[in-house]
Amino acid sequence: MDTAVTTLKALADRSRLRIVLALVEHEELCACQLTELLGLAGASVSRHLAQLDRAGLIRGRKTGRWIHYHLTASFAASEPLAWLDRATAADPRRRDDRAALAAIVAEDPAEICRRQRGPTCCPAPATTPTPAGSTA
Q: Residue 65's domain spans which residues?
A: 2-111
CA 58, CA 73: separation in Å to the nearest integer? 9
Terminal Cα distance for the chain, rounded: 67
119 in any annotated domain: no
CA 68, CA 28: separation in Å to the nearest integer? 6
Instruction: Give the DSSP letter of residue 121.
Output: T
At 48-107, the pLDDT tens digits run 999 999 999 999 999 888 899 999 999 999 999 999 999 999 999 999 999 999 999 999
Q: What is the torsional sign of CA 37, 20, 54, 14?
A: positive
CA 9, CA 12: separation in Å to the nearest integer? 5
Give the mean model confidence (pLDDT) for residues 28-49.
95
Q: Are 113 and 121 in contact (CB under 8 A)?
A: yes
70 in any annotated domain: yes
At 39-49, the pLDDT tens digits run 999 899 999 99
Number of domains in the chain: 1
CA 125, CA 30: separation in Å to the nearest integer? 20
Q: Tell me the pLDDT band of 130, cut-offs 50, 70 and 90.
A: low
Q: CATH code at 101?
A: 1.10.10.10
135 in any annotated domain: no
